[in-house]
Structure 1
Amino acid sequence: MAVFVALGAFLMTLFGGWTAQRVTDRRHLVLGLAGGLMLGVVGLDLLPEALEAAGHEVFGVPQALLLFVGGFLVAHMVERLLAVGRAAHGARDQKTPEVGLTAAAAMVGHSLMDGVAIGAAFQVGDRMGVTVALAVIAHDFADGFNTYTLTSLYGNTRAKALAMLFADACAPVVGAASTLLFTLPVELLGSYLGFFGGALLYLAAAEILPEAHHPHPARSTLFCTAAGAGFIWLVTGLAE
């Protein structure tokens, strides 16, 4: 089941890369909706489940919350390191193809862990698996878009950009399939989901939503974001 659902992430990543080659003026609406979906999944479903599975306290704070903050910080540090690399090598007249490939490879690694998160969530239960998969699929459009863009931006050929895009698309499926080989303890699952939720929230708040509003600060984008979060609230309520 986890591998089958992960195919949705595969297709969405490819769709994001395809869109990167044919950017339209409506991309901000898609990214706004994706950010709202991710926010809803993290705050309304993923974090409560993580707290239930790994809620014992470490120095007065639930373990899942500590890892949630840790996931946010790790995602922030990785993004900042990549940004420093881009600033150091991104001059127009000094494009460095290796920088683009490195950044794209980091995206592939991130997508691999997304697949592991899907598989781990299905070990908790089908409903949890579907909601985590929805969050992954929602932001994989941006992953595919960014993977293709980062690779080509630094002077790599179209063939290399497409190869990195395909690797990024396959990574969630491989990650989900890997969880068929082992079963994680419930507390470890909760801890991982808490960490994953923090990283996912960072992607939504610091990457996807700012990108959605940067070129087109419009009320329609805000509406799509609110609609995405509201949709997750509705799905979560109906599932109870």
Structure 2
Amino acid sequence: MAVFVALGAFLMTLFGGWTAQRVTDRRHLVLGLAGGLMLGVVGLDLLPEALEAAGQEVFGVPQALLLFVGGFLTAHLVERLLASRQAAHGADEREKVPQVGLTAAAALVGHSLLDGVAIGAAFQVGGAMGTTVALAVIAHDFADGFNTYTITSLYGNTRAKAVAMLFAGALAPVVGAASTLLFTLPVEILGSYLGFFGGALLYLAAAEILPEAHHTHPARSTLLCTAAGVGFIWLVVGIAE
């Protein structure tokens, strides 16, 4: 049952990526929406789940928050190292580094894999719990597909690579749901991962996606798209609760 339901996440992820491809003439709006979706996913979905699942403190600070900061700093460090390496080979440091986009997209694929694990684990608890979690995952996988394609493309990767990462992200929930037939992921590990991933995703949204959205089109419509992205995730979380 969990694997069958995860097929809905597969289709929704592809739909999100297809939407990102179709609006290339409004790239600044796409990026503004993607930034809002990422901000909403981090602040309203990932971080609360991480705090609940891995809320024990380490020297007075919740473990999930420490990993959140660690994820942010790791994303910053990886980007600077890759940019410095490209500059050392004669490239302009201001140019986008394709490896950063692929790394970020791979992290989103990993997140989608755990979405599938969450669906499978919820169905192990009960049908009602599984259905609730599945609806939340399917709804926000639109954002995952949208962001996976957008981030990969934003950093200068080819369309073929962006589509490949999109399909990997779409298949990930199905694989994750199927894996729960073999093992159960400890809640604390899941919470720790969500905290770390949330920090990395926030860095990409705040330091890359949103500045790029306003670089050539500092329009009010871009801000509205960002707010709409956050509002969409808020709606999804509210319905799921």
What is aligned with 2:219? Answer: 218
- Work out the CA distance in 1 between the residues paired with 2:101 and 2:237: 33
Change (3 A) 1:137 1:63: same
Structure 1 position 138 matched with structure 2 position 143: yes
Q: Is the CA contact (8 Å cut-off) linking 1:29 and 1:224 kept in structure 2?
A: yes
Structure 1 position 110 matched with structure 2 position 110: no
Of 14, 22, 35, 1:10 maps to: 14
Change (3 A) 1:183 1:107: same
Q: Which moved more, 1:76-85 or 1:27-36?
A: 76-85
TM-score of the pair, normalised by structure 2: 0.75
Note the residue ranges of structure 2 that are not aligned, 5 or more in a row: 123-129
Deviation at 1:131, TM superposition (A): 4.5
Q: CA-to-partner distance for each residue in 1:76-133, whole Å, 9 max, x for gaps?
A: 22222232234334648xxxxxx85x55653553343132232244335655555566
SS in 2 for 1:55: coil
Deviation at 1:196, TM superposition (A): 1.8
Q: Is the CA contact (8 Å cut-off) linking 2:12 and 2:141 kept in structure 1?
A: no
Q: Is the CA contact (8 Å cut-off) linking 1:107 and 1:168 kept in structure 2?
A: no
Q: Is the CA contact (8 Å cut-off) linking 1:9 and 1:169 kept in structure 2?
A: yes
Q: Is the CA contact (8 Å cut-off) linking 2:100 and 2:155 kept in structure 1?
A: yes
Q: CA-to-partner distance for each residue in 1:162-184, whole Å, 9 max, x for gaps?
A: 44233212221343344222321
TM-score of the pair, normalised by structure 1: 0.75
Structure 1 position 171 matched with structure 2 position 168: yes
After TM superposition, where is structure 1 displaced by more than 6 Å over at least 4 residues in a row? none
- Work out the CA distance in 1 between the residues paired with 2:219 and 2:61: 39
How many residues are treated as equivalent by the alignment? 221
Residue type at the aligned position of 1:62: P
- Work out the CA distance in 2 between the residues paired with 1:205 and 1:220: 18
What is aligned with 1:85? Answer: 85
What is aligned with 1:158? Answer: none
SS in 2 for 1:184: coil
What is aligned with 1:198? Answer: 199
SS in 2 for 1:216: coil
Q: Is the CA contact (8 Å cut-off) linking 1:6 and 1:118 kept in structure 2?
A: no
Change (3 A) 1:86 1:145: farther
- Work out the CA distance in 1 between the residues paired with 2:18 and 2:211: 22
Change (3 A) 1:42 1:70: same
- Work out the CA distance in 2 between the residues paired with 1:204 and 1:132: 20
Q: Is the CA contact (8 Å cut-off) linking 2:133 and 2:240 kept in structure 1?
A: no
- Work out the CA distance in 2 between the residues paired with 1:199 and 1:128: 24
Change (3 A) 1:126 1:40: farther
What is aligned with 2:127? Answer: none
- Work out the CA distance in 2 between the residues paired with 1:151 and 1:208: 13
5 Å-filtered alignment, 1:117-132, equals: 117-122=114-119, 123=121, 127=132, 130-131=135-136
Note the residue ranges of structure 1 that are not aligned, 5 or more in a row: 93-98, 153-160
What is aligned with 1:187? Answer: 188
Residue type at the aligned position of 1:197: G
Structure 1 position 50 matched with structure 2 position 47: no
- Work out the CA distance in 2 between the residues paired with 1:113 and 1:137: 15
Residue type at the aligned position of 1:87: A
Q: Is the CA contact (8 Å cut-off) linking 1:33 and 1:224 kept in structure 2?
A: yes
- Work out the CA distance in 2 between the residues paired with 1:110 and 1:150: 15
Root mean square deviation, CA, Å: 3.0
Q: CA-to-partner distance for each residue in 1:20-61, whole Å, 9 max, x for gaps?
A: xx841x221222122122212221232112111111111111
Change (3 A) 1:140 1:86: farther
